[in-house]
């Protein structure tokens, strides 16, 4: 679990194996080398060629509490109570009568309480495999200005409705423009895939900045994680983020199984049709640092009518796993 908080100070850098929206602090360089050096308790993100993002500090230590922010003490207490009620309703309704006494016992240490609960109830439960039903959406992908080829996805709207709806509406562009000063259209059309790591994933969806530092959801700036499913195969759609509950518009498509992302990124769909093997050709344009050697552009996108969607019903077969990348 990764929470955004300025409290953590230790180092957590990447070897290219995490799709990340880098919208904090200094701009992240997509071509930078990554390393993975977790330390005990907490961690901080360092992205690119040693460039730190001081505001993008993330705690992996159970107990970091990012729910109350600058709320007043009374408001924070109510937030904790609401959160605990929701947790018990989901995992152990028999504990609901103990909400107030439990909060009294852990007054001032609510982070520790929720860490223990998560460890007891959530971490012990296996993450389910990806599956679901919902609308089918398409991205028409152009490589270096050439004729576009189509990727078609089934969205898991029955499992993660809010995440699926965000992607669907950003494909259709039906929400109009964002509320930022530029009035950016809320649509993937014209955006680029800014990060491609062969044998791992292709990442896009940043239609505001184009380099992984931007993006916005149809719900405002960002929205919370929904249910997690496992990253078990090639062709899964999943949300890129900068920590827990920071979903915007950026997404990635897996190129192989990526179990280390389970429980951190929300899977919300799968590839069911790949015209002209365009995903393979996209993969060939990346390198181990994620740099894209060419232009990979979403020329158009949208939602398929029901009848057209039925013709794209077969999941794309898995590709043979590539050897793991060496950390730099």
Q: Is 3 a catalytic residue?
A: no
Is 277 one of the catalytic residues? Answer: no
195 included as an active-site residue: yes
Give pLDDT, residue 208: 94
Tell me what pLDDT residue 21 has. 65
Indicate the SS3 state at residue 137: strand
Please indicate whether residue 62 is annotated as part of the active site. no
* pLDDT number for residue 25: 34
Q: Which of 203, 207, 255, 285 is catalytic?
A: 203
- Residue tagged active-site, from 265, 271, 285, 304: 265
237 catalytically annotated: no
Output the pLDDT for position 77. 73
Task: Considering the candidates 114, 200, 207, 268, report the single residue annotated as catalytic.
Answer: 200
Q: Which spans in the chain are helix H?
A: 73-91, 99-105, 110-117, 161-172, 278-283, 306-310
The full set of domains in the chain, from first to last, is 77-122 (no CATH), 136-310 (2.40.100.10)
Query: What is the rounded distance in angstroms from the CA atom of residue 145 to the CA atom of residue 297?
Result: 8
261 is an active site residue: yes
Assess whether 36 carries a catalytic annotation: no
- What SS3 state is found at 136? strand
pLDDT of residue 205: 98
H or E element at residue 292:
none
Per-residue pLDDT of the chain (328 residues; tens, 9 = 90+): 222 223 333 333 334 566 766 543 333 333 333 333 333 333 322 233 332 222 322 322 233 333 323 334 455 677 899 999 999 998 888 899 999 999 999 998 988 998 889 888 876 678 999 999 999 999 999 999 999 999 999 999 999 999 999 999 999 999 998 877 678 899 999 999 999 999 999 999 999 999 999 999 999 889 999 999 999 999 999 999 999 999 999 999 999 999 999 999 999 999 999 989 999 999 999 999 999 999 999 999 999 998 665 655 554 444 433 333 333 3
- For position 58, what pLDDT does the model report? 31
Counted residue by residue, the chain has a size of 328
Residue in the block written with tokens 């901080």: 44
Sign of CA dihedral 108, 111, 112, 117: positive
Q: Which of 84, 143, 237, 261 is catalytic?
A: 261
This prediction's pTM: 0.64
pLDDT score for 16: 53
Return the pLDDT at 64: 32
Catalytic pick among 166, 241, 247, 250:
241
In angstroms, rounded to a whole number, what is the distance separating the alpha carbons of residues 197 and 291?
8
Cα–Cα distance, 276 to 8 (Å, whole number): 46
């Amino acid at each position: 679990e990764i929470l955004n908080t300025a409290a953590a100070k230790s180092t957590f850098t990447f070897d290219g194996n995490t799709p990340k929206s880098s919208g904090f602090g200094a701009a992240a360089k997509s071509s930078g080398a990554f390393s993975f050096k977790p330390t005990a308790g907490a961690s901080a993100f360092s992205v690119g060629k040693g460039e730190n993002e001081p505001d993008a500090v993330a705690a992996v230590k159970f107990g970091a509490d990012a729910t109350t922010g600058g709320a007043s003490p009374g408001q924070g207490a109510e937030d904790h109570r609401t959160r605990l009620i929701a947790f018990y309703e989901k995992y152990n309704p028999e504990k609901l009568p103990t909400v107030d006494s439990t909060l009294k016992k852990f007054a001032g240490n609510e982070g520790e309480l929720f860490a223990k609960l998560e460890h007891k109830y959530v971490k012990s439960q296996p993450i389910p495999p990806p599956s679901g039903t919902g609308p089918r959406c398409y991205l028409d992908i152009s490589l270096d200005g050439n004729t576009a080829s189509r990727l078609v996805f089934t969205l898991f709207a029955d499992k993660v409705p809010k995440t699926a709806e965000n992607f669907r509406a950003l494909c259709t562009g039906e929400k109009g423009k964002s509320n930022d000063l530029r009035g950016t259209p809320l649509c993937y059309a014209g955006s680029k895939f800014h990060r491609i790591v062969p044998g791992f994933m292709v990442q896009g969806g940043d239609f505001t900045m184009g380099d992984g530092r931007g993006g916005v959801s149809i719900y405002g700036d960002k929205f919370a994680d929904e249910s997690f499913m496992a990253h078990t195969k090639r062709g899964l759609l999943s949300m890129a983020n900068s920590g827990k509950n920071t979903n915007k518009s950026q997404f990635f498509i897996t190129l192989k199984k990526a179990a280390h992302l389970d429980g951190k990124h929300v899977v919300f769909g799968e590839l069911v049709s790949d015209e002209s093997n365009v995903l393979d050709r996209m993969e060939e344009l990346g390198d181990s640092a994620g740099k894209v050697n060419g232009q990979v552009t979403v020329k158009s996108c949208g939602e398929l009518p029901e009848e057209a969607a039925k013709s794209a019903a077969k999941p794309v077969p898995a590709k043979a796993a590539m050897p793991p990348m060496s950390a730099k």
